[in-house]
Amino acid sequence: MKKFNKITPEGTKDILFEECLSQRTVSERLTHIFKMRGYNEVITPGMEYYDVFDAPNAAIPQYEMYKSTDNKGRLIVFRPDLTLPIARLTATRLQAMEKPIRLYYNQPIYRNRKDLSGRSDETTQAGIELLGASGLKADIEVIAAAVEALSACTENFRLEIGSAKFFGALADELPVSADKKEDIRQTIESKNYAALGDMLDALPKSVYTEAIKKLPRLFGGAEVFAEAEQFCKGHPVLSETLDYMRTLYTALSSLGLDDRLMVDFGLVQRNDYYTGVVFSAYVENYGDAVLMGGRYDTLLKQFDAPMPAIGFAANVDALASVLLDDGRIESVPTPDVLVHAESGAEIKAQMKIRELTANGKICESSVFDTVDEAERYAKRRGIPEVIVLRGEENA
């Protein structure tokens, strides 16, 4: 039988040196922003019961979950999402906590991607959840935090905002099943205009089929709202949603994003638990969103703790890659000093290293038998200084 003891599982990889430094840098920058905005860190288990993700609105396909069983035969999964575990945690551990509740995380998720898309099955996400708060102020707070998080890593990003409620209100006017609505949503998400046209042409023609057909093209600046108005006449939910999105866009425009802020009514996130504003961020030379989020006011009802909520997750791996590509991560530093101990001076050498590192020096401890070997090693590594400590018998 072939052994796989020299490779990592498909969809995973080892992370080395500058990549580690870059990931750590991104994590530290993001978590600093979250903490300074009053968010508190939580850590959820890497394994959860399958039931946490089996909710009707979870929209995480079963085939994308890595599954196993516990010692009682109960189905468990490696965490494929962080919002649902935090909803579970809030409903069970934090119900008595004063609202709103501000939480942040920095943890890996696991997705079994069988499409060989090149995406990683193990991805680190850092994000926030604002639970127990609704309305414009809460939405602005979370999106502004997302902008700050992105800006801490790169200025070269584009933020797109849309509305799950807008698409939902249009889809509710179609004479189709829930499964068919999901098919339509997926074609919009993938921007498969041909398939979308075929689906909608098979339905009775109406202002709503025409609106959904044009939804992926309702993308741009403030002018998009005028284009969308034609589909909202006589429909209170659509009109109210459009007015709210215009107000939110106007407010966010004051963050100094200029042309990096876009409206996209074709932004229909995959997770069906979104109920209001949704948003995504992109950077050049990276195909997928590096940050995604939105409002999910009905999700916690599934855990018997109904409350409004909004949050986002940033892809730490992707942002770390951006930092590396931009040359904004220094190379792994070369040690300043190599400390070599002759026989009997081993502890003295460790005390010297403690002294030097306390003063900010990067030190390596020599493991060689002779001074000549230590000096040759230092030369090969580019270590500028070698300190030799002699034992009592050589003093």
Q: Is 129 labeled as ligand-binding? A: yes
Q: Is 64 labeled as ligand-binding? A: no
Q: Is 90 labeled as ligand-binding? A: no
Alpha helices (H) in the chain, listed in sequence order? 17-36, 83-93, 136-151, 164-171, 178-189, 193-201, 207-214, 223-229, 236-252, 316-325, 346-358, 371-381
* Cβ neighbours for 37, distance < 8 A, ≥ 6 positions apart: 102, 128, 141, 145
Measure the N-to-C terminal CA separation of the chain; round to a whole number of Å.
59
Q: Is 49 labeled as ligand-binding? A: no
Distances (CA, A) of 191 to 130, 213, 307, 354: 30, 11, 33, 59
Q: Is 111 labeled as ligand-binding? A: yes
Query: Which own/partner contact pairs does 361-365 have at CB distance under 8 Å and 24+ positions apart?
Result: 361/336, 361/337, 362/333, 362/334, 362/335, 362/336, 362/337, 363/335, 363/336, 363/337, 363/338, 363/339, 364/335, 364/337, 364/338, 364/339, 365/338, 365/339, 365/341
Q: Is 81 labeled as ligand-binding? A: yes
Tokens 């400590």, residue located: 389
Residue list for the binding site: 81-83, 111, 125, 129, 273-274
Residue list for the binding site for L-histidine: 81-83, 111, 125, 129, 273-274
